[in-house]
Amino acid sequence: MFSICSPDPIRIGVASEEPIRLTGLTSVFDQPAQEGRPQLVPVAGGLEKLFEDKTLGYLVVDLQSSSGGLQVLETIRRRRPDLRLIVIGPYGNDELVLASIVAGARAYLDLTANPETVFKAIEVVTEGSIWAPRKLLSRLIDRLLKQPEAGAGGGETRLTERERQVLELVTMARSNREIAEELGIEERTVKTYVGRLMRKTGVDNRIRLSMTALSHSLTGRPAGAEIGQESKK
């Protein structure tokens, strides 16, 4: 008989300055992984310790317990720009949510989120997408479309037909896995395309890639069109 190999576990850093909250956030990972998905393994500790762990690609940041506020996100972005951030912070502060996303967060959850929601948001981020309230993403689009894009610098961005297909799905907030399934290609091939698109447009994350695509009509969709996202809020 043949056994189906499970995907390699994904190690997720968890940072909080309050031991009780750190224990609570770590317990979120007690949920079993769905069939075919990798197990998410928490790695708790202080930021300095987590910075040194090069096996981490994701980091849950408890902004509520941090004394540094948004400065913590800027520090993380400077020290470990490769980390994809899941931020947990206060409820009802829309500007903080937007600022967190601009600072590099792939997800923002408020303190009312239950463990299942937090776990789902982390899964969404590990699949290559974002998690944020739709109304705030719409506001973020409006804000970023008013700013000059780093990749817009004068020349035309030339894309292949496959790159356009991938970019179209990125602007709809599809994960790498979903894009791979829709286009009938390997997930690692999607990652290669996304990386190439970021280099061509001069951006460093998927949100800005979507903004650049929409504002410069790289996919043929009109500027200002709404991008999709995973949260149903």
Least confident range of 87-91, 156-160, 214-218: 214-218
User: What global pTM score does this model have?
Assistant: 0.61
Mean pLDDT, the chain, as a whole number?
Answer: 79
Residue pointed to by tokens 């202080």: 46
Least confident range of 21-25, 79-83, 219-223: 219-223
d(CA 121, CA 232): 11
Give the 3-state secondary structure of residue 225.
Answer: coil
Q: Are 171 and 217 in contact (CB under 8 A)?
A: no
Segments making up each domain of the chain, as ranges: 10-126, 141-215
DSSP symbols for 138-201: HHHHHHHHTSPPGGGSSS-----HHHHHHHHHHHTT--HHHHHHHHTS-HHHHHHHHHHHHHHH
Q: What's the CATH number for 141-215?
A: 1.10.10.10
d(CA 90, CA 94): 10
Neighbour-count burial of 205, counting CB atoms closer than 10 A to its CB (0-12 exposed, 13-18 middle, 19+ buried): middle
Classified by CATH at the fold level, domain 10-126 comes out as Rossmann fold (3.40.50)
Highest mean pLDDT among 67-71, 169-173, 200-204: 200-204
pLDDT at 225: 38
In DSSP terms, which residues pair with 181 in a beta bridge?
none
* Structural tokens at position 182: 């829709």
pLDDT of 42 strictly over 90: yes
Amino acid at 148: P
For 174, phi then psi, to 5°, come to -75, 145
- Binned at pLDDT 50, 70 and 90, residue 215 comes out as low
Which uninterrupted H or E stretch holds 27? Answer: helix 19-27
- The dihedral region occupied by 38, where left means phi > 0, alpha psi between -120 and 50, and beta the remainder, is beta
* Structural tokens at position 29: 């990972």
